[in-house]
Amino acid sequence: MFRLARRVRPSVREDANRVVTGLAQRHSTRGVLNAAYELLPPARKGWTHAAFGQVLGTLPADSVQPGVWRSAFAGRTITVPIEGPHAPFLLDFGLALEGHDVEVKQLYRRLLTSAAPPAVFYDIGTNFGTHSLLFLVHGVRTVSFEPNPACHALFRSICEANDVEPDLRALALGEQEGSVVLTFPPGLTWLGTTKPEVGAERGAGRPMETVEVPCGTLDAFVAAQEAGPDLVKIDTEGNELGVLRGATRTLAEHRPIVVFESLHADRGELWDLWSDAGYAIRVLPDGPALDARSFGTSPETNFVAVPQERELPA
C-alpha cells in the first residue's frame, strides 16, 4: 500500500492517501497498518513518513478512533496513545519515531545495541520527544532540553504511557546565559528558533508566535551534574553554532559523540570549531570523514561529530 503514493498521477496519490488514512482512522484496522509499517526497511519508513505523516496529522480529531501505535526500536517497544484532540498528530508522531531523521535513528540503533551503549544522552531541541523516547525506553539517562512550554504536556503524556520519567528542562542553550526570544510558526513548534535571522526569514509573509525563554550554556549545565554526556543531539533550527560555542569545555573534557543539524549557514565557523576541538565530521549514518570543502558543500543537513580518538560502532 505504501508504494501507491510513489506514482506521479494525482489521482493515484489521492487513492493512496484514502487507503492509508482509512486504515489509520479505525482502531480495528490500525494494527494492520502499524504491522506493515514495522516491516519496512529504514529508508522506506522515511519515505512513508514523508508521504503520509502530514496527511494523517491534519485529519479531523473526531475522525480518529482511540487506540495505540507501537514502534519497536533496538529491542524495546514504544507505545504512542492515539487519543484525544491530538490523536491525528500522534499518528504522525508514531511514524516519525523511526521515519523522521532516518539516518540519525540508524546511528542510534547501532549505538544502543553496541558493546558500550551511551550512559547519558542530552537531547538539545527535544520538541515532542521523538529522539528522547528512543533512549528513555532503553533506560539511558536522558536530559531533554525544550524551551517551548507548548511541547511539554504531550511529551510527558507519551512518557507516562511508556512508564518512563523524563528529565525535561525548559531551557534554551546557547553561547551565554540570560534570556532569548523563541520564534515559531503557529502550531509548528519544531520550527522554533532562537536565532533572530532564521526567525525573520521564516516569518516573512506569515504570522509567527514568540515567547521569551531562559537560556543557559551547556558547559554551565554539565558543570553542575555528576556525569557529563556520552551522546549529544543538537537540533536548534540554526543556532547549533551558538550551542557549541557554549559547550567547548564539555567537548574537551567529556568527548561526547555529537549529532547535529546544519542548515548550510555558519559551516565555515562550525568546521573551525570542530577542528579546534579535535573532532571529525562524518555523514550519517556511517559515511566517511569530511574535509572542510565537502562539509561546506554537502547537501545533507544532519551530521555526526566524532572525537578523533574514537570510532563509531560498526
Cα–Cα separations (whole angstroms), residue 106 to 94, 100, 266, 284: 17, 11, 26, 8
Give me the percent of the chain exceeding a pLDDT of 90: 82
224-263 residue pLDDT tens: 998 899 999 999 998 999 999 999 999 999 999 999 999 8
Name the band, by pLDDT with cuts 50, 70 and 90, for residue 8.
Answer: very low
Q: Give dist(CA 97, CA 86) in Å, integer.
A: 16
152-163 residue pLDDT tens: 999 999 999 999
* Per-residue pLDDT, 124: 98
* Per-residue pLDDT, 9: 59
More confident residue, 187 or 113: 113
CB 173 within 8 A of CB 243: yes
pLDDT over threshold 90, residue 35: yes
CB 151 within 8 A of CB 128: yes
pTM: 0.93
Q: Which of 305, 259, 298 is nearest to 281 (CA)?
A: 305
* Per-residue pLDDT, 191: 86
pLDDT over threshold 90, residue 287: no
Domain ranges for the chain: 4-96, 103-307
Pick the CATH number of 103-307 from 3.40.50.150, 3.40.1280.10, 3.40.50.300, 3.90.1150.10: 3.40.50.150
More confident residue, 303 or 6: 303
Most distant CA pair in the chain, distance: 58
- What is the overall mean pLDDT for the chain? 93
